[in-house]
Structure 1
């Protein structure tokens, strides 16, 4: 390996190199996160064209399931064989799935092609974070991860807005076709600018670990996605999925203790910081996705906003999150200190949730935006620090696995949050309207129904006295969700005090060089 291929300790040169590659990495993250949310506003149009309402949820579930299952595998394979070609493969697979999804001629085809998209998306987020970990020392990494966290917030909030605009102005197919030029740019930038050493370590592939991890991930995603919607929580299907997931996790621990090159090295979980920060990330995903899912419903049904307007009113929250994320990254780079941010971020997040419990049918748009700004500031201080600490807690040879584990747990936390808080919201809404509306109207708002009554256009057509009951029920359900998020955020805040401020590596050490990484791998026939 030539000296030019090794990471250097000269910050000015490294910063220029990273800034050249950074747009490609940020585009990859944008693609993965955007496609998780952009499809929501296009779904009514898709269902109107294809039919298949009963299978509509699979358009989203197929993507999430494939991405979640493949994320840990990309992390481990990148650690073994190198990241550039694997990352480019993930982008290419994502683009193939996007083109095919846009050209789909039936609901079955769309679901299948969304699965292909998800298999590519699983490598985009973890690949970008791990590549950054290869290029930049943890001490310098904060400022760059701040940009990535900002892109994550932008795509999470802007997805529904972009999806609605493309569907209204063009066709729902452009919600997929928009990925093609963006992905092509990312692919070209990565191919031309990213310089990483090639890995070709001969290792024994952990097939049993891969199978058990995939089974556990699939079981958890389906458990949280189907529970309370496709099947009742006490149904044999949901109970069976829960049991399969638990047994797979137990089997994974047994197998990984003996594997020569485990897909999920248990040695990572002997580090207190790694465990604590990943639990915080899980709880963060739990609270963030669980709560943010229902804010647009409140804005559109109670405050009378259009989907586009509700997306625009999220911009102040996005700007707060981006500003705090970038400021935190800059501070970490200058000082090497980071423990304060999970603590302060957790505290601000709790304050934001407490404020959001005070929403009412009379709350103004400005007041709602202010509450969301506080909530966004807390998220901004937390989002990129969790990844930074997770990577800093792992040896360089495990940087991909550390990144994928943090991403995986945050995604699983989000799935659990949506499932739990969806049940809380539905139960509270049903309790608020039962006995106060005619039976045929109230049936649309019970927790086990289709939720057809929550169409903003249909609510707007109800008589005023009925509309007041519905908007009051939606508000009651939303504020109850935020009441439930506070204990989880409080646990994350308390855990933040147990994060140990281990010094960030200021320059690549001998252990962290690619040569040392290759030497550290177990040499054995495949």
Structure 2
């Protein structure tokens, strides 16, 4: 892989060198600094009769085209300077108002990782600890797609405030939970808020800015979100060990209140308001429908698609969670939700197809717009990105939750010490995020390379981590490999969002919603599959030793109460079960590494969005496999030269 990268880098540098020679030759001819867009526009306006010459900055009659060298360029343009100041102020408002709620939401995904055994043991549900995770991901995965459409209909500010409110409600319910259902309800509300914060924040970062500016903003948020994800287990473990697991929920309450206030004060007038409804007719014409009233806005929402998606995904996750843990895989309680969920999920796509312009349902529900226009998948890369994000969520959730269980149960660490071990994921995650920042913002300013390298490194890292866990490995080895596994995940956290915006700028709200859904759904499926394998392996081994049953392994305390020689055997069972749980997800991660070879590329440019929020992707987006595009570059150049000669 390294040799491939060196070869491709040399080819890229040769191509860039050829372009630089052409630019230097042109600069020597003119010996003048280039005009900025405002100066060039003024030059064109002053010389309408010779516009073509002015675009090449050759018109002798243009004062703008022949202004002094020290006055040319964006550094000396008042409009460019003012525009730069506005962009800087806008970025600081985004940072000050959105970082706090986003760090809170990211921390919520892992703050219970090391506290899981303690929380589940409090309710005597250690064998069902995965429900604490599943309740969160079930709500977030089922609701995430609706946020893409709702944020366009009601505006960014109202939706992000609602998402923060959901987190606040969930945290209060979790903190005061008196029984297992109340705890799971609180985690569900937290998941509902998390999905909204994730989608709308990335949408806000993509609004009003170029891809390069979006890349800078996303880099900062990706790094700090990664920091929150990594420190979540430490904070949760420390609070659980020193005070109570309820503080994992209480900590969110003041953060949510502050977030409500800062978003209202700083962003209320900055964010994009409710969008007019644009409907594409069968003949290709676009009809703009103004939506000034609440009833008009409500009439746009795709309720049928929303319900089919919510119940379809929810039932699939429910079946995966029950299968092999609470009920057997061939029982009606497992098969019924799985089959019904799959049918509803397929009906969702059929519904969305019939909601396309000119189709049957579109003629019946004339004011409604499909929640996910299937035209978004016309670009091959959108489907590939969805699966890559699916595998990223699977790897991230597995690394935190099951490694946390390994340290707590197998190594008998307290929750605080277990959380500290998981911080070794942070350096690797940081290296990955920083590398992605360099590849997107500095060189070569493309999204393909971080996505490609991340997809290759992630299954390798998780595979090596699996080997360490299966051999009842030393904690130092597990911590080191945990950091290595984080590199691949960090590489893909930010570029995937940029790639989705680049290939589908017109539908970026829906595209970002799909990316967030697949990330959370991947985590849900990963945890469900791993939990099923884990529970089945564990149950098959329990009962072979005297005085050991499901009741004596229902909590950390009950395991510690067993005789020392029995404890060693039981903890070995847990280690073996976790090992096979990781084995079960490796094929999913390996497939992502294979599909990465088919991915196209988006070049990060300074091109600004037009009034409709779209980019001109011509020349900046390659929808064919990018490695093939690079390999055939010489052939295309020869063909162009031959055509020029003719």
Q: TM-score range by the shorter chain?
A: 0.7 to 0.9
CA distance in structure 1 between the partners assigned to 2:554 and 2:82 by the alignment: 57
CA distance in structure 2 between the partners assigned to 1:428 and 1:43 by the alignment: 20
Which has the higher Rg, Structure 1 or Structure 2? Answer: 2
SS of alignment partner, residue 513 of structure 1 = coil
Is structure 2 residue 565 aligned with structure 1 residue 492?
Answer: no
Task: Note the 1:128-147 alignment, pairs <5 A.
Answer: 128-147=201-220
Is structure 2 residue 490 aligned with structure 1 residue 380?
Answer: yes
Larger RCO (CA under 8 A, 6+ residues apart): 1
Judge which range, 149-158 or 47-56, deviates more.
47-56
RMSD: 3.3
Which residue number corresponds to residue 405 of structure 1?
514
Which residue number corresponds to residue 390 of structure 1?
500
How far the C-alpha of 1:216 sits from its partner, in A, is 1.5
Which residue number corresponds to residue 476 of structure 2?
366
CA distance in structure 2 between the partners assigned to 1:476 and 1:106 by the alignment: 31
8 A contact 1:345–1:377 mirrored in 2? yes
Which ranges in structure 1 are unaligned for 5 or more consecutive residues?
1-6, 445-449, 517-526
How far the C-alpha of 1:380 sits from its partner, in A, is 0.7
8 A contact 2:120–2:126 mirrored in 1? yes
CA offsets, 1:45-98, max 9 Å, x none?
767877899998766544433332221111111123321221112212322332
- Decide whether aligned partners of structure 1 residues 275 and 229 sit closer, same or farther in structure 2, where only a CA change above 3 A counts: same
Is structure 2 residue 248 aligned with structure 1 residue 175?
Answer: yes
8 A contact 1:342–1:381 mirrored in 2? yes
Which residue number corresponds to residue 531 of structure 2?
422
Q: How many residues end up aligned between the 2 structures?
A: 500
Task: Note the 1:206-217 alignment, pairs <5 A.
Answer: 206-217=302-313
- Tell me the TM-score normalised to structure 1 length: 0.84
How far the C-alpha of 1:271 sits from its partner, in A, is 1.0
8 A contact 2:110–2:400 mirrored in 1? no
Is structure 2 residue 361 aligned with structure 1 residue 265?
Answer: no
Judge which range, 47-56 or 461-470, deviates more.
47-56
CA offsets, 1:324-357, max 9 Å, x none?
2133124302342121112211222233123223
CA distance in structure 1 between the partners assigned to 2:164 and 2:175 by the alignment: 16
How far the C-alpha of 1:181 sits from its partner, in A, is 1.8
1:252 aligns with one of 319, 323, 348: 348
2:316 aligns with one of 220, 224, 228: 220
Which residue number corresponds to residue 306 of structure 1?
414
Is structure 2 residue 573 aligned with structure 1 residue 438?
Answer: no
Judge which range, 165-174 or 257-266, deviates more.
165-174
8 A contact 2:126–2:554 mirrored in 1? no
SS of alignment partner, residue 330 of structure 2 = coil
How far the C-alpha of 1:323 sits from its partner, in A, is 3.1
SS of alignment partner, residue 405 of structure 2 = helix
CA distance in structure 1 between the partners assigned to 2:579 and 2:118 by the alignment: 30
CA offsets, 1:284-305, max 9 Å, x none?
2223323543212222333342
8 A contact 1:219–1:242 mirrored in 2? yes
Is structure 2 residue 175 aligned with structure 1 residue 102?
Answer: yes
CA offsets, 1:9-40, max 9 Å, x none?
95664244223312432322222233333346
8 A contact 1:352–1:371 mirrored in 2? yes
- Tell me the TM-score normalised to structure 2 length: 0.70
CA distance in structure 2 between the partners assigned to 1:379 and 1:486 by the alignment: 14
CA distance in structure 1 between the partners assigned to 2:123 and 2:480 by the alignment: 40
CA distance in structure 1 between the partners assigned to 2:207 and 2:555 by the alignment: 47
CA distance in structure 1 between the partners assigned to 2:466 and 2:171 by the alignment: 39
Is structure 2 residue 612 aligned with structure 1 residue 502?
Answer: no
Judge which range, 167-176 or 237-246, deviates more.
167-176
SS of alignment partner, residue 273 of structure 2 = coil
Task: Note the 1:445-456 alignment, pairs <5 A.
Answer: 453=553, 455-456=555-556
Is structure 2 residue 278 aligned with structure 1 residue 205?
Answer: no
How far the C-alpha of 1:367 sits from its partner, in A, is 1.9
- Decide whether aligned partners of structure 1 residues 284 and 116 sit closer, same or farther in structure 2, where only a CA change above 3 A counts: closer
- Decide whether aligned partners of structure 1 residues 362 and 212 sit closer, same or farther in structure 2, where only a CA change above 3 A counts: closer
1:321 aligns with one of 409, 429, 447: 429
Which residue number corresponds to residue 523 of structure 1?
none
2:572 aligns with one of 472, 479, 482: 472
Which residue number corresponds to residue 295 of structure 1?
403
8 A contact 2:113–2:236 mirrored in 1? yes
8 A contact 1:73–1:210 mirrored in 2? yes
8 A contact 1:320–1:373 mirrored in 2? yes
CA distance in structure 2 between the partners assigned to 1:380 and 1:90 by the alignment: 25
Which residue number corresponds to residue 520 of structure 1?
none
CA distance in structure 1 between the partners assigned to 2:408 and 2:120 by the alignment: 21
Is structure 2 residue 164 aligned with structure 1 residue 91?
Answer: yes
How far the C-alpha of 1:209 sits from its partner, in A, is 1.2
CA offsets, 1:349-390, max 9 Å, x none?
233123223325563332222111110111111222222222
CA offsets, 1:476-521, max 9 Å, x none?
333333333332222111111111013345332326439x9xxxxx
How far the C-alpha of 1:430 sits from its partner, in A, is 5.0
